[in-house]
């Protein structure tokens, strides 16, 4: 009888321990607009693996790619409200909260990935992320979306004038509307989850995104022409809801920060190693690829100057000066 009683007590204790362990497991929902297999999503998955391993299973990271939980704007509100823990999204989107972030949407800002890494990983990038805290967000790191290029379903783009008249979907923010307008095209702000259908239904003629996104979202199915313009470089901020962050211990905050930093290295490697093969795959999928000659790129840059001047005033002279100072140091 004693033996049966002891077994019962031990079984109850084991169940209680299991229940406690399960109760202590915290779930982190981590969202992004890109499809599974995209380098951004691969970075998120790496983050999840690191967090789950280093926390001994105390944290579980659930990845929601492909806009599964709504648009960036909806995700932003959810993080501020504390109902969503994490997201990776275009850093320029935060300009609606902190105007300085609009600088990341300046056309032809970075000449190459090395410059971008040095700026976003250094004091400038960290300083901008720090400004998000008073808006209910904590910036941990920057993934890479990469350099953006223009696609359309109407005609090849061999010169700047070929862009004029095209109805192009843009990320919903003022600088993107203005630079497309400066080229004589018609900007159409749309959330990313609505893009494929808009192209398919010919509500817009084209769009602009990095190669990995064009492939991942299967835009080659509804777009024929791809112009390699490399007109913008998009850092992607990895951000956490401050309401969630404030519930963590100092050790757990460090765990998430370290995991984000470690996953960045992996994510950028995936992004850059895939560039050449992605372009080949897009060609094999039927896209006709053109590249603007240097004289046309110079013309494109010239048309952007009034846009940069206008938005320097709205972003803030100090922020733009700080960015240009960093770039000057790197280029010496």
pLDDT at 1: 54
pLDDT at 113: 93
pLDDT at 18: 43
pLDDT at 332: 86
Closest CA to 80 of 192, 242, 273: 242
Q: Report whether 44 contacts 50 (CB < 8 A).
A: no
Locate all alpha helices (DSSP H) within 144-293, ordered by sequence.
174-182, 195-200, 211-216, 242-245, 250-273, 275-284
> What percent helix, strand, coil does the chain show, rounded to 5?
55, 20, 25
pLDDT at 172: 83
Cα separation values, 301 from 79, 195, 201, 216, 230, Å:
36, 27, 32, 28, 11
- Lookup: tokens for 299: 């013309």
- How many angstroms separate the CA atoms of 164 and 180, rounded? 9
Q: Domain extents for the chain?
A: 23-331
- What is the architecture of the domain spanning 23-331? 3-Layer(aba) Sandwich (3.40)
Which residues in the chain come in under a pLDDT of 50? Answer: 9, 11-22
- Lookup: tokens for 314: 């709205």
- How many angstroms separate the CA atoms of 88 and 250, rounded? 22
Q: Report whether 125 contacts 145 (CB < 8 A).
A: no
Strands 167-170 and 186-189: parallel
| DSSP H/E element including 21 | helix 2-24
- Lookup: tokens for 49: 């693996």
For the chain, the maximum distance between any two Cα atoms, rounded to a whole number of angstroms, is 93
- How many angstroms separate the CA atoms of 138 and 254, rounded? 13
- How many angstroms separate the CA atoms of 156 and 127, rounded? 41
């Amino acid at each position: 009888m004693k033996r049966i009683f002891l077994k019962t007590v031990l079984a109850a204790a084991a169940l209680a321990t299991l229940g406690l362990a399960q109760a202590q497991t915290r779930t982190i929902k981590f969202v992004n607009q890109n499809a599974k297999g995209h380098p951004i999503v691969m970075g998120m998955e790496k983050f999840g693996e690191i967090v789950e391993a280093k926390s001994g299973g105390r944290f579980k990271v659930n990845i929601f790619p492909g806009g599964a939980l709504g648009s960036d704007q909806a995700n932003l509100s959810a993080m501020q409200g504390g109902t969503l823990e994490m997201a990776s999204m275009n850093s320029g989107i935060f300009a609606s909260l902190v105007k300085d972030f609009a600088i990341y949407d300046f056309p032809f800002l970075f000449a190459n990935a090395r410059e971008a890494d040095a700026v976003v990983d250094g004091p400038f990038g960290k300083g901008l992320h720090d400004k998000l805290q008073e808006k209910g967000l904590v910036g941990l790191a920057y993934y890479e979306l990469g350099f953006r290029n223009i696609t359309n379903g109407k005609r090849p783009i061999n010169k700047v004038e070929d862009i004029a008249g095209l109805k192009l979907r843009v990320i919903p923010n003022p600088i993107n509307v203005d630079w497309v307008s400066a080229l004589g095209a018609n900007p159409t702000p749309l959330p990313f989850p609505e893009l494929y259908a808009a192209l398919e239904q010919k509500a817009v003629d084209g769009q602009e995104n990095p190669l990995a996104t064009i492939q991942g979202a299967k835009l080659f199915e509804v777009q024929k022409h791809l112009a390699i313009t490399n007109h913008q470089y998009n850092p992607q901020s990895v951000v956490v809801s401050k309401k969630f962050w404030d519930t963590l211990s100092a050790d757990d905050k460090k765990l998430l920060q370290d995991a984000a930093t470690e996953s960045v290295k992996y994510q950028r490697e995936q992004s850059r190693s895939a560039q050449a093969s992605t372009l080949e795959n897009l060609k094999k999928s039927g896209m006709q690829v053109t590249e603007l000659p240097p004289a046309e790129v110079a013309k494109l840059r010239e048309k952007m100057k009034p846009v940069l001047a206008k938005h320097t005033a709205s972003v803030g002279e100090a922020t733009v000066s700080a960015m240009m100072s960093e770039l000057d140091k790197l280029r010496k």
